[in-house]
Structure 1
Amino acid sequence: MFFTMPWTPTYAFPHPLARVPQSAGYWLSYILVDLLIWWGIRGHINNFRKNKLNLPPIAYFSTYHGSISHLPTGYMWSPHVVPKPNDWGPLVDVVGYCFYDLGSKYQPSEEFVEWILKGSPPIYIGFGSMPLEDSIKTTNIILEALKNTGQRGIIDRGWGDLGAHSNIPDDVFLLVDCPHDWLFPQCSAVVHHGGAGTTATGLKAGCPTTIVPFFGDQFFWGERIYQKGLGPSPIPVSQLTVESLSEAITFMLQPEVNSRAMEIAVSIQNEDGVGSAVDAFHRNLPAQLPLPTPPPSEKDEGPNPLQWFFIQIGRVCSLPCGS
């Protein structure tokens, strides 16, 4: 299995989809998140196995054991950004980032190239496919923060429609569809939503980073950036203001932050994430594939005490959602 965010239980940090304040709950957060997600999708998975793959259904606890700790897993991020926790065993590898090479085929417009060469490296600000409740308000916050800090900026329109209905000054460029691996090396710093791929590309380019998380693992990557000194504390989108964004830009432009970002960039550029991933895959292949033993049907498997406990937690957690 390969994934871009941690899913193997650890005491080092909480599950990316769980906001756990106390370290005592870190390990348990992986079990709870996994169980709740399974509870919502188990019917789809088992129907697919039965009707499309002609396989028996998965019984969660007897087959899956409540986590992926017993399964070979490769995590596709740099160990210089998030080192492998000490409590992850030999079945788990942190292989490094695996990048697409999109920038080598990109042909920017003459207008865009001229604008980039006209002044100092700009600040990139964009939130990709994230929705915005008020794109005009968010655009005005961005423009005012750039003005306050005296910086040129690139605003990526994205799915949130940033800049579409605003007067954009000459020192700000409104961009639509540009590969990040071409764009970020042109920038002095980046502000984005914190998706795993966008975060990786910014770090490889040596860009100090501010993450404005919306949901999911974006908060996790924001905290990792902050802990490494590669950017300020993440700013949840609901807390984005002219003041908070101005302070974040000022933080990123400090020479020591830029120096740390360049050091991480060199380390990432010297990694071979794809090669390490292939090596990990082959290393974990058994010499002979075992014949599958059909697991017991979920209908025949009564809940054991531990399973009963998690069922009750799942029901309580579902109450606020009206389930």
Structure 2
Amino acid sequence: MQTFGTRGDVHPFLALGIGLRRRGHEVSVATSTDFKAMVELAGLEFREIPGKAADHFSDPDVIRSIRKSASSLRTALVMKRPTTEEFAHSVERMQEAAEGADFVLTSMICRGYGFAGATAPWGTVNWWPMTPTREFRAYKTPDLPLGAAYTRFTHAMSAQLEWAVHRPAVNKVRTRQGLPPLKKSPMGTLGVEHPVLYPYSPAFLPPPADWPARAHVTGYWVWERPEQEPPARLADFLDSGSRPLVLALGSAWPVYGEQTFHAVRDAVRHAGRRLVVVGGPEGTASDDVFRVQEVDYGWLFPKAAAVIHGAAFGTTADTLRAGVPHVTVPCWADGPYWAARLAGIGVAPAPVPFQRMTAERLRQAVAAVLDDPRPAERATLIGERVRAERGVDTACDVIETAVAAAV
């Protein structure tokens, strides 16, 4: 398995790797050295892909860009990106890491491995839908009332943009290895010749009826780690009154800043409720606010009246599994996409985009999720479905079928 990026890009692969190992397979995970200890803690073999883990939120230019706009394209223009030669070198190291494999599963950023001339059967993972369909438009494309033909066209447009990112490095590697450069995008082979796995819940976003047979919505990949003893003071806080709300903004805290904490705290106080804050800048607590730097979401979230978050993939999954309602304050990347979906299925009020966040909008969102019983009822139902899914086992079935078909 090959993945690169942030902790959220690696963690689901480890859950899947543990599931494959339990079925008797030998599993290696190729990623940056930042995650070597995490891979080995999961009992899997580590193989290196050169480069550092993505740390977008330590870059002041990235923070300033996101605070102005949720546009991923705008932010990408200010991010520090590898040169074509550096990207090509990484693809070659991916090829070395995959030597001897019966099957290779790549993350989004590692798909260059397959396009550059993979010698082993391979498939890929995507965190949001990328397979063409007429049922909904592609991620981050304009919402225009132009019918099903336009909807499907958005997927072709999105695929071309992704291929444009991979093409220079992929063709450089292919040329070095005596292979002809690819003139036509290979993106159309994904889900048709090569399986695509979507590790989110079909109860959250069902697969469209017109997807090809090799596009699979598996359910979430959850690493069931041994339960850790929660902080005693936090447990006491939870037991000392009604269910609090939880504010969890993950690695994006540098974008949101302390001003977001104050705005959320005031909105929660206005509703007469308490607040648990996970992570973020150091700050003072109070009788109605408990701050903790790190805690097991699987333990904490089910004890919340609602979770306030940025709708990032991992936190969205944890909140759905907990079966509690959401208040979303998306700031960039896939946050706006998932926030809209959460509102669409009735487990959250309308999103409060970070760039347009006001005290009044936050108060209204918090009040909506607390005063209306429907989001909590809907969240309970969705949570039961999500917890009943066999995401890792389903993904293992897909991979084993792909290996058997290639023999």
Matches of 1:65 and 1:4 in 2, distance apart? 16
- Are residues 93 and 22 of structure 1, via their aligned partners in 2, closer, same or farther at CA, if it must alter by over 3 Å? same
Task: Report deviation, 1:288.
Answer: 3.9
Aligned to 2:120: none
Which residue, out of 145, 149, 164, partners 1:39?
164
**Residues matched between the structures, number:** 280
Using the TM superposition, give the Cα deviation of residue 227 of structure 1 relative to its aligned residue in structure 2, in angstroms. Answer: 1.0
Letter in 2 for 1:121: R
What letter corresponds to residue 274 of structure 1 in structure 2? V
Q: Does 1:26 align with 2:143?
A: no
TM-score (norm 2): 0.64
Task: Compute the displacement of 1:9 (Å).
Answer: 1.2
How far apart in 1 are the matches of 2:403 and 2:183? Answer: 23
Aligned to 2:324: 207
Aligned CA distance change for structure 1 residues 46 and 204 (closer, same or farther; 3 Å): same
Q: Give the Cα–Cα distance (whole angstroms) in 2 for the partners of residues 115 and 138 of structure 1.
A: 22
| Cα deviation, residue 137, structure 1 | 2.2
**Cα distance, 1:186 vs structure 2:** 1.7
The residue matched to 2:250 in structure 1 has which SS?
coil
Residues 50, 190 of structure 1: CA spacing in aligned structure 2 closer, same or farther, 3 A cutoff? farther
Deviations 1:221-245 (A, max 9, x none): 1111111111111111112222111
Which residue in 2 is equivalent to 1:315? none
Do the aligned partners of 1:75 and 1:95 also contact (CA within 8 Å) in 2? yes
Deviates further, 146-155 or 105-114: 105-114
Residue 239 in structure 1 maps to residue 356 in structure 2: yes
RMSD after superposition: 2.3
Could you tell me how far apart the structure 1 residues matched to 2:146 and 2:276 are? 39
Residue 271 (structure 2) pairs with residue 153 (structure 1): no
Superposed displacement of residue 69, structure 1: 4.3
Q: Aligned partners of 1:142 and 1:27: how far apart in 2?
A: 39
Q: CA 1:145–1:286 in structure 2 vs 1: closer, same or farther (change >3 Å)? A: same
Over 3 Å counting, the alpha-carbon distance change for 1:177 and 1:280 in structure 2 is same
Other-structure match for 2:262 = 140
Alignment TM-score, normalising by the size of structure 1: 0.79
- Structure 2 contact 159–187 (Cα < 8 Å) conserved: no
| Pairing partner for 1:79 from 189, 192, 202 | 202
State how far apart, in whole Å, the 2-side matches of 1:92 and 1:101 are. Answer: 25
Would you say 1:2 and 2:139 are equivalent positions? Answer: no
Give the 5 Å matches for 1:295-310: none
Q: Which runs of 5+ in 1 are unaligned?
A: 290-323
SS in 2 for 1:129: helix
Percent identical pairs in the alignment equals: 28
2:380 aligned with 1:262, yes or no?
A: yes
Q: Counterparts of 2:399 and 2:159 in 1: how far apart (Å)?
A: 23
Task: Work out which of the residue numbers 177, 189, 196 in structure 1 matches 2:306.
Answer: 189
Counterparts of 1:247 and 1:201, CA distance in 2: 24
Q: Secondary structure at the match of 1:266?
A: helix
Deviation at 1:66, TM superposition (A): 4.7
The answer to whether the 8 A contact 1:2-1:76 is kept is yes
AA partner of residue 283 (structure 1): T
Higher RCO, 1 vs 2 (CA within 8 Å, ≥6 residues apart): 1
* Greater C-alpha radius of gyration: 1
SS of residue in 2 equivalent to 1:191? strand
Provide structure 2 residue ranges, at least 5 long, that are not aligned to the other structure.
Answer: 1-123
Q: Report the Cα distance in structure 1 between the residues aligned to 2:315 and 2:270, rounded to whole angstroms.
A: 26
Deviates more, 1:29-38 or 1:240-249: 29-38
- Say yes or no: does 1:278 pair with 2:403: no
Structure 2 contact 298–322 (Cα < 8 Å) conserved: yes
Shift of 1:34: 2.4
* CA–CA separation in structure 2 for the residues paired with 1:236 and 1:67: 35
User: 1:208 Cα deviation (Å)?
Assistant: 0.3
**Residues 50, 57 of structure 1: 8 Å contact kept:** yes
* Cα distance change, pair 264–46 in 1 and its aligned pair in 2 (3 A): same
1:174 counterpart SS class: strand
Of 209-218 and 143-152, deviating more is: 209-218
Distance 1:287 1:126, change over 3 A: closer
